[in-house]
Structures are given as structure tokens and as C-alpha cells.
Amino acid sequence: MKRRNFSKLAVVFLLFASCAQKPVESPENDSSAFVSLTDAVPDAILEIRYYGTYNFVGARIDGYEQPTALITREAGAALRAVSDELVAKGYRLKIYDAYRPQKGVDHFVRWAEDLSDTRMKPYFYPDLDKSVLFDQEYIMLKSGHTRGSTVDLTLFDMTTEKEVDMGGTFDWFGPESHPDFCGNPETGEYTGDNSKSPSVPKRSITPEQFENRMILRRAMLSHGFKPLDTEWWHFTLADEPFPDTYFTFPVREL
């Protein structure tokens, strides 16, 4: 009896020791609260710019291992409601980026610190010297995308089968990307005020282009997202589930 009891104790001890030696996964590397965006929003179209080379860096961004998009369950459910509303109006959502791992943000920082790399300047920041990107907060050490409930997106017209004309490209560094460029986003009124444009002659957007931005904005705000005052394409779930967690797992199919 004593030997049998001793053997049972030894087995329990070995199991405990084995479990204790297993590394504990950090919360930042835990993707269990995330879903594939296209599972949450089947109608969404993906154009993951940071998986390719057509972006302001000009290279695939670290941490983007597959051309997919991830998002928290809560943000995914809210985005599905946005999609359902817009599909009824003849649009689909086109996604440029959603969850962004910290490794990707770190890649942006390294790129911004290398002032000699300006290969994509004509396409994304022709009016800016690269040295001002940190001061003007185009590049930051942390991003809301890394918390998992932020999405960059536009509209796709199901009738024309083309991306809707927003009067400017995704990730354009300049006031032309601001929601209040040429209009008042609070009222939806087009004013034509392009005085903030630094180019000569000044750039502008049409009433139709401004209204297209407002169609997207109104739908996002009505389903719980909040906008950014410098990017018409950027929205974050107002009641985001991880407001203080910056995740590190890569972008790939879950």
C-alpha cells in the first residue's frame, strides 16, 4: 500500500513539474479574442496594402505573413452591421488594414528614421520632407490598430464594380486626407474650402467625392465606430475591448 501511494504521488509530482515548465503565453501574443475579418464580414473585399509593396514604405511590412485581415470579435460584429447597411445601398466594404502587429509598427518607425529612403515619396507624401513624419504624427511608436479594433477601409460600388472615388488615396500624408477637407464632417456640408492644401495650385475634392467620404463615415459612426480627424478611411470601435493592450502575434489565418 505504501509503495502504491508513493507511486501515485510521484506521478502527480511529475505532471505538476511538466506543467510548470511550459512557458506561459503573454496576453499580447494571444489571438483567441480575434476573428478573420472575412468570417465576420463575408461581403468585405480585402486589399491588404501592407502585405504587398504598394504602400508608403514600398515593401511588405514585418508581421504580415498572409494577405488577410484580423479583428476583435466585437469590432467584427459592429463592422458586419455597417456592411449590412451599406450592401442594402449598393456598396461593399473594401479593407486596406485592420489589426496591425507591433512588429509592423516598429517597421514603420525604422523606415521613418532612414531619411535616405524616399522611393515612395511621389505617391504618398510629395509635399512633406520625410524628417517631419514623427513631429506631425504620421508615424508613431504605437498604433490603435495594434489593439485590434481599428480598421482602414473604403467603399466598393457594386453597380460600377469599381472602388468609390474618395478624392484621394489611402495613406496619403497631408491635409487632403482629413475628413474636414473641403467640408464639414459634422454636418455633411460641402464647403469647397481647400485652403489647407499645401500644393500650388491647391488640390481639391468635388462635392461628390466629399459625399462619398460622408457615406462611409455616417455608416461607421452609426454602428459604434469613432473617426480619426486626420484620415477619412480610419475608424476605431468606440467601446473597444482591449484599450490598453498592444498585440504582437502576426497577421495570418487563424
Q: Which residues are catalytic?
A: 231
Residue 148 and residue 99 in contact, taking contact as beta carbons nearer than 8 Å = yes
Phi first, then psi: give them for residue 47, nearest 5 degrees: -135, 80
**Who contacts 118 (Cβ-Cβ below 8 Å, separation ≥6)?**
130
3-state secondary structure of 235: strand
Distance CA 247, CA 27 (A): 8
- Dihedral of the alpha carbons of 72, 75, 77, 81, in degrees to the nearest 10: -160
Q: Provide the 8-state DSSP code for 107.
A: H
Q: Which stretch of DSSP H or E encloses residue 122? A: helix 121-124
Phi first, then psi: give them for residue 8, nearest 5 degrees: -65, -40
Cell reading at 36: 478573420
Task: Return left, alpha or beta for 62; rule: phi > 0 is left, psi -120 to 50 is alpha, else beta.
Answer: beta
3-state secondary structure of 199: coil
Cell reading at 234: 480610419
Q: Which stretch of DSSP H or E encloses residue 16? A: helix 2-21
